[in-house]
Amino acid sequence: MRPSSSTTRAIRLAFSPDADDLFMFWPLLAGKIDAGGLVFEHERVETERLNARAEGDEPPDVCAVSIAHMPAIASRYLLLPHGGSVGRGYGPVVVAKRPMTLAELVARRVGVPGARTTAHLVLRLLVHAATGGAYEPVVVPIAPFAKIFQALDAGEIEAALLIHEGRLSWKDDPTLHQVVEIGEAWTTMTGGLPLPLGGNAIRRDLGEDVLRRVSDACRRSIVWALAHRDEVLDAILTSGARDEAKVTRERLDTYLDMYANADSAGYSSEVVRAIEDLLRRGQAAGFLPAGAVELAP
């Protein structure tokens, strides 16, 4: 049964402009569910800025973050047990203007969406495991959406690590070549584990009652969205929120199948194991700080 409270409480929520975040939080922000006295004040911020906000001076109460960033903020945040974006044999994609192998990335300039992102961590692990070397990361923010492709065309970077809808739209450009599919490579490296890319973190200092109420409201928003999928999909399209990414209904439908699904409704034991494995590998390689990540109730 849903917790209830007569106490009104403002909750600061920050998430990305990406379609799966919009999908999961739209019912909550559109008043489709009873938030139990909670009032959500939201902002949409690109992925790497979200990661930075979570460790800044005024961290949001609930913040969408990269799973790879959780150890750095573990003393401040718990990971909500729902709202995740998980790849099952698929994930971010590295592309280049010419055919290139994973080994050829070593010492080359690779555009990445942020140093704290899970995609960057996994690519570092893959390159290091394959060659013992490293590439030169060049942070290219995902907003504006076209910037990463422009950087490739201009020769500012030699390869690009694409997340969000970019991992689908790159195929529209016949001059681009896939170097590696991160999700496929991760599954091979781990013996079949899914790839947990992003999740929602909640501040520990909210207190147990508020924390449970917020978690419940977010969970019910995801459940509502999944049960009314076409309505939410249409709302995203008509809002123009992803016009910059040139998202068609067909492509949005495909993308949401990938990243807003049963895994978003709640982490299975397999996904929890994958999160633990990802962080363990990153910490063992010296790419992540020490820190145990805990799931919220």
Which pLDDT tens digit goes with each residue over 59-95? 999 999 999 999 999 999 999 999 999 999 999 999 9
At 115-163, the pLDDT tens digits run 999 999 999 999 999 999 999 999 998 878 889 999 999 999 999 999 9
Contact between residue 164 and residue 18 where contact means Cβ atoms under 8 Å apart: yes
At residue 166, the pLDDT reads: 87
At residue 7, the pLDDT reads: 67
Query: How far, in whole angstroms, is CA 135 from its chain's centroid?
Result: 22
Q: Are residues 174 and 105 in the same domain?
A: yes
Q: Are residues 82 and 206 in the same domain?
A: yes
Contacts of residue 51, Cβ cutoff 8 Å, sequence gap at least 6? 65, 66, 69, 114, 116, 117
Contacts of residue 60, Cβ cutoff 8 Å, sequence gap at least 6? 12, 13, 14, 43, 53, 54, 203
164 is a catalytic site residue: yes
Q: Are residues 136 and 272 in the same domain?
A: no
| CB-facing half-sphere around the CA of 278: CA atoms within 13 A | 33
- The CATH number of whichever domain residue 121 belongs to comes to 3.40.190.10
Q: From CA 2, how far away is CA 34, in angstroms rounded?
A: 10
Q: From CA 41, how far away is CA 181, in angstroms rounded?
A: 36
Q: Are residues 183 and 100 in the same domain?
A: yes
At residue 243, the pLDDT reads: 67
Is 1 within a domain?
no
Q: What is the pTM of this model?
A: 0.94
At residue 63, the pLDDT reads: 98
Is 295 within a domain?
no
Residue 257 has pLDDT above 80, yes or no: yes
Of the pLDDT bands very low, low, confident and very high (cuts 50, 70, 90), residue 265 is very high
Contact between residue 178 and residue 129 where contact means Cβ atoms under 8 Å apart: no
Residue tagged active-site, from 69, 82, 120, 164: 164
Q: How many domains does the chain have?
A: 2
Q: Are residues 169 and 125 in the same domain?
A: yes
Q: Are residues 15 and 144 in the same domain?
A: no
What φ, ψ does residue 204 adopt, rounded to 5°? -65, -35
Q: Which domain holds residue 43?
A: 9-86+196-284
| CB-facing half-sphere around the CA of 221: CA atoms within 13 A | 23
DSSP 3-state of 155: coil
Q: Are residues 97 and 133 in the same domain?
A: yes
Beta strand pairing status for 109-112 and 136-139? Answer: parallel
The DSSP 8-state label assigned to residue 139 in this structure reads E
Of the pLDDT bands very low, low, confident and very high (cuts 50, 70, 90), residue 3 is very low
